[in-house]
Structure 1
Amino acid sequence: MRFAVGTLTAVPVTPPRVVDRRVALTGLLLAPLAVVPLGLLVAMVLAGGRELGLSSLAVGVAATAALALGSRAFHLDGLADTADALTSSYDRERALAVMKRGDTGPAGAAALALTLGVQAASFAALTHGRWGPLLAGALVCASRVAPALLCSRGLPAARPGGLTASYAGTLHPGVPLVGWAVLAGLLAAVSALAGLPWWRGVVCAVVGLLLVAALARRAMRRLGGVTGDIHGAGIELALAGMLLAAT
């Protein structure tokens, strides 16, 4: 849990003495629980802005900024690097080199702007329902199931070495699918509480799952596997898709 909190949030924790395959993989499975403070932060920003009578769009942007700060923009960096890599070249090695370089190009900048725009506008729309902020916070936590799916068997690491290579392709596909199913049930309950049809929560979960699966398929075709950056991209895309479905 300390690995998950320290990696996925800006909450200060004592790091684990050893970070190996078992610790990293377990930490990814605990990711939805580790980011509960971020989900609560988003919910409080949205609810507080609504009670103060502030512009819903401005509050949505503020919630998006708070989430980025709370995660140290860790996943946004992965989204930008993934977009640049997948649009740079059809040559695998060159694409991986672009991803590793880390500077943001036009594709990465466009991916950030569009994804953050969808998130901010969706957060804004969810401020109107009484329990909408709670649903927004729940979706923040739900999106963190994405890395577990990207660790499934059949999805090897795109490059040797590094922490990702130690656990990539090791998780039985049924484990993350069960996680998505549990979250679908929880989102259905929160959706009903927020005044939406219960099935809207199930739709949100399915949309997130399909987006992450599409990203994994694209990564396999272009890069031959996944990287830590692709995990971050999966989180941001899943969150944007699920938020949009919730509206």
Structure 2
Amino acid sequence: MVTRYLKRGLEPLRFAFGTLSVLPVRVNRWDRPTAGRAITLAPVVGLVLGGLAAGFATLLAWAHAGSLLAAVAGVAALAALTRGLHLDGLADVADGLGSNRPPDAALKIMKASDIGPFGVLVLLLTLLAQVAAVARCFDLGLPKGAFALGLAAVTSRAALLRGCADGVPSARAEGLGAMVAGTVPRLRGAMTTLLTVALLALAGWATARLGQDQLPLALGTVVSAAAGLGLAALLLTHCLRRFGGITGDVLGAMVEISATGSLILWTLFAAATP
């Protein structure tokens, strides 16, 4: 009986890693209650993926490959660990919003397999901003560069809690968006988000070298995470108005916008702290 309950308790974790990463995890339960618990664990997925990307990038920076190459490797690793799923969502949402078409027509544009000019432009600028921010952080030291990738990965996955909050509708009747829309109780989502930001602040505090004033980095972490989550919430509000609900693409776009916003703010705080 204990084994059965343990396996059942692991199902949300399987769902989270199976849908939000390329890690070889088999998803045994595909239902909305499991999806809601899985999205609550999304920051854990971000922690694992961010740790892998940060480790790879830090190794290159430590080997004197240069901060730019390390940043490209770190951002590329995060993309590879998700099969580019969130970047694809960002491009599709950019095309849908940029089309200025009615909701049904815009959703058809987003579902098309090709990428339009709006998608290409937004994708390019987003990746350039992420690489530039991470490279600058590695210039400031290995701990700050590694933490930048971890912060972006965890904060951006925490943004999914708001995107899947109770009351948020799905724009389509099928797909991942329909499976996870409205599955996270708002109180649970808020508490998980606050806990995630608090733990990130402790990690930011730990990145300062011994003898430094660690409070500014902890405060910078909170502001950076809050900014990333706020940008994702603004995008969500706009997409709900334009499309009438969320899709998997909208959630992916929220991840990338949140990651980019938190990275830029963290870079400014890290540069201002010796």
TM-score by length of 1: 0.93
Q: 2:24 corresponds to which letter in structure 1? A: P
Aligned position for 2:10:
none
Unpaired runs of 5+ in structure 1?
A: none
Measure how far apart 1:142 and its partner are: 2.5
The answer on 1:110 being equivalent to 2:121 is yes
Match of 2:240 in 1: 220
Q: Aligned pair count?
A: 246
8 Å CA contact 1:131–1:193 kept in 2: the answer is: no
- The unaligned stretches of length 5 or more in structure 2 are 1-12, 209-213, 268-274
Deviations 1:156-188 (A, max 9, x none): 111223342244134332322222211221221
TM-score in terms of structure 2 length:
0.84
Q: Which residue matches 1:98? A: 109
1:41-91 CA distance string (max 9 Å, x none): 221123212211122112111111111111111111111111101111231
2:134–2:148 contact (8 Å) kept in structure 1: no
Task: Find out whether 1:66 has 2:77 as its counterpart.
Answer: yes
| Equivalent-residue separation in structure 1 for 2:176 and 2:153 (angstroms) | 24
Distance 1:183 1:24 in 2: 19
| Separation in structure 2 between the aligned mates of residue 64 and residue 162 of structure 1, nearest angstrom | 27
Secondary structure of 2:135's counterpart equals helix
1:13 to 14, 25, 38: 25
**Post-superposition offset of 1:228:** 0.8
Q: Equivalent residues in 2 for 1:1-247 (5 A)? A: 1-16=13-28, 18-127=29-138, 128-132=140-144, 133-195=146-208, 197=216, 198-247=218-267
Deviations 1:19-53 (A, max 9, x none): 01112222111112124332112211232122111
Q: Deviation of residue 209 (structure 1)?
A: 1.6
CA shift for structure 1 position 140? 1.0
Q: Counterpart of 2:14 in structure 1: which amino acid? A: R
RMSD after superposition: 1.7
Q: Is the 8 A contact 1:82 1:229 kept in 2?
A: yes
Give me the whole-angstrom Cα distance separating, in 1, the residues matched to 2:203 and 2:174.
41
Q: Give the partner amino acid of 1:174.
A: L
Change in Cα spacing, 1:153 to 1:14, as seen in structure 2 (3 Å) is closer
C-alpha distance in 2 between matches for 1:44 and 1:166:
33
Change in Cα spacing, 1:53 to 1:184, as seen in structure 2 (3 Å) is: same
